[in-house]
Amino acid sequence: MGLRDRFNSFSGGTRFVVSRVFVHLVGQDVAPLLGVLNQAVREVMEADGDMQVLGEQLAQVCDRLLEYETFWRSAANEGDVTWDEGEAGDYVSDLFTDSAGRYGSSIDGASGEPTNGASSNGVNGDEDWTIPITQNLVVILTVAFEGEVPELETSLADVEALNAGLKALINLHHRGTLRAVQIHFSPAQIGDDLPSDQLIEHFPELIPL
């Protein structure tokens, strides 16, 4: 714990953590996950900043990612700690802009201010599943929360650590400490492709698991 952390812990300040997690999956069998992601995004967009709904959708996406563990190929994470709510909100906003600009990730609406959560948008989950599906899928989950979660404040570029990190995201919802939730994924539409060269170019932080 740094000097500022120690000072604020004594003074009773609120500790804010912003964390972004990338999960890269490979295989045509991950196609059903696109339906889950699109449904989650629709729910988030309609939630109008309701953190209970945003947390529920985050937990559902994490649950499904855990079920698809055998398809994980690489991962990455980043984040920061601050004792200033405004700084946390600015960082969340910056990450939203960056995530939305990733290859094949589309945005069609956002729910309120950054600290109220936001999401990317994709296609209708009822699309014809016979359309060719990309071999690569990258899911980007960004959260802001109060307190300290060691499982999210370490490298998640390891299967065991990523497993623990996703479970920690679920627990944040149950603990009621979430302050922001973002869900992005690339490619954003069924039938779009995320070829390996574009994966490397637009997601250079990914580390093989």
Q: Is the pLDDT of residue 35 over 80?
A: yes
Q: Would residue 117 count as lying in a domain?
A: yes
pLDDT tens for each residue of 55-108? 999 999 999 999 999 999 999 999 999 999 999 999 999 999 999 988 766 443
- In this structure, the dihedral spanned by the alpha carbons of residues 55, 56, 60 and 66, taken in order and rounded to 10 degrees, is 40
Q: Average model confidence (pLDDT) for the chain?
A: 82
Residue 157 lies in a domain: yes
Would 4 be classed as within a structural domain? Answer: no
Residue 80 and residue 78: Cα distance in Å, rounded? 7
Highest mean pLDDT among 36-40, 104-108, 114-118, 139-143: 139-143
pTM: 0.83
Token couple for 12: 């009773």
Q: Is the pLDDT of residue 34 over 90?
A: no
Question: Does residue 7 sit within a domain?
Answer: no
What does the alpha-carbon distance between residue 52 and residue 200 come to, in Å, rounded to a whole number? 35
pLDDT reading at 110 higher than 50: no
CB 18 within 8 A of CB 80: yes
Residue 201 CB neighbours (<10 A): 10
CA proximity to 114, closest of 95, 101, 138, 98: 95
Which pLDDT band, with edges at 50, 70 and 90, does 191 fall under?
A: low
Contact 117, 47 (CB under 8 A): yes
* Total number of domains constituting the chain: 1
Is there a domain that residue 10 lies in? Answer: no
Can you give the pLDDT at residue 113? 33
Percent of the chain with pLDDT over 90: 59
CA 203 to chain centre: 14
CA–CA dist 72, 201 (Å, integer)? 19
How much of the chain exceeds pLDDT 70, in percent? Answer: 78
Q: What are phi and psi of 202, to 5 degrees?
A: -95, -10
Question: What is the mean predicted confidence (pLDDT) over 176-192?
Answer: 86
DSSP annotation of 84: -
For 108, the 3-state DSSP assignment is coil
Q: How confident is the model at residue 125 (pLDDT cuts 50, 70, 90)?
A: very low
> What is the span of the domain harbouring residue 42?
15-208
Q: Is the separation of the CB atoms in 137 and 199 below 8 Å?
A: no
Structure tokens at 179: 């302050």
CA distance 13 to 59: 28
Peptide bond into 195 cis (omega under 30): no
Report if residue 60 sits inside a domain.
Answer: yes
- pLDDT bucket at 4, cuts 50 / 70 / 90: very low
Q: Is residue 3, in this structure, part of any structural domain at all?
A: no
Say if residue 122's pLDDT is above 50: no
2 in a structural domain: no
Distance of alpha carbon 193 from alpha carbon 114, whole angstroms: 29
pLDDT band at 119, cuts 50/70/90? very low
